Amino acid sequence: MSSSLPEGHSSRSVTPDDAPAVNELVVAADEAVMGWSDSTEADLVDWWREVDLECDSWVVEDDAIAACGVLYPHGETADLDCYVHPSQKGVGLGSWLLAGGEARARERGLQKAHAWALAPDHDARRLFELRGFREVRRYYRMLIELDGPPQPAEWPEGFHVDTFKREDARAFHAALTEAFAEEWNWVPMPFERWLELRVNAPDAEPSLWFIVREGNQIAAVLRGDAHRFGAGWVGAIGVRKPWRKRGLALLHHAFGEQVQRNHECHKPCVSPPRQPLLLPNHYRQPQVASAWIPASARAVK
């Protein structure tokens, strides 16, 4: 990066070994804004699998890690996910990370930059607006608490549900891609890359992935995890257009499977696609836990 850091600070790329310290930074930043955090080292490492950390990440240090930023390439867009420790705010580290992320996006030939922040983080909002960003989208994570397994799902006549098998991978990927084709900012992931990051992931739990079929045609798919962000997790759910508004009970079925797998935490969550930091309507503080995404409408060329 070309601009200078404040005196006493230095920068380098993130490494996987930084996960514990960076997670402490993220937790501190979250807690300063909302009073709680559900960030984990495992979730950070999972996201970092999608990134060239050597070229597209930055750690700022003085005696400890003071700030961190990562650029996630997303089609023609750079998703910039940056954190500054509360004790280090006001010295220019956020501006330095954001400027460097935009510069790296130009080097990569990306056309736009999106920046992410929590809704109550007014300091982040001011910084984004000073750099010409404007808010274009808000995402919310949905959460339900269950006292026990719901009643078994009831399927419309002619429909049935199967648990994902490896031989379903290509059809599952195609159905999910089709279902999200008109979603804002959706960029389909090539099958081989999806296979590597999702099916072959060390913590993948295909026993919580489900396929609804009418006859031999896939109508809907769901990808879940037993433990993520402190709850059962629905990472993606998609219904193909011809089968929408047909009363498919896929999410209901997933809740039941999640509860059976996760007796100590009956809190399945539903997430929108791609969320570097999208925090839930938490059971302690739902009024402040929504997330927003301010993003530049201008090119970064």
Which residues contact residue 178 at a Cβ distance below 8 angstroms, ignoring those fewer than 6 apart? 238, 240, 241
Q: What is the mean pLDDT of the chain?
A: 84
Could you tell me which CATH class the domain 10-140+284-299 is placed in? alpha beta
Token digits for 208? 């919580």
* Confidence bin at 270 (pLDDT 50/70/90): low
Q: How confident is the model at residue 266 (pLDDT cuts 50, 70, 90)?
A: very low
What is the pTM assigned to this prediction? 0.79
Contact 105, 78 (CB under 8 A): yes
Angle at 197 between CA 194 and CA 199, to 5 degrees: 75
DSSP code, position 60: E
3-state secondary structure 127-172: HHHHCCCEEEEEECEEECCCCCCCCCCCCCCCEEEEECCHHHHHHH
**Domains 10-140+284-299 and 143-270 in one fold:** yes
CATH of 143-270, one of 3.40.630.30, 3.40.50.1010, 3.20.20.450, 3.20.20.70: 3.40.630.30
Predicted confidence (pLDDT) at residue 278 exceeds the cutoff of 50:
no
Q: Is the pLDDT of residue 250 over 90?
A: yes
Give the C-alpha separation, 49 to 193, whole Å. Answer: 11
Please state which of the ranges 78-87, 120-129, 186-195, 217-226 shows the lowest mean pLDDT: 120-129
DSSP state of 141: B
Angle at which helix 93-107 crosses helix 122-130, to 10 degrees, equals 50
pLDDT digits (tens, 9 = 90+) for 152-174: 999 999 999 999 999 999 999 99
Residue 4 is classified by DSSP as P
Domain boundaries along the sequence of the chain: 10-140+284-299, 143-270
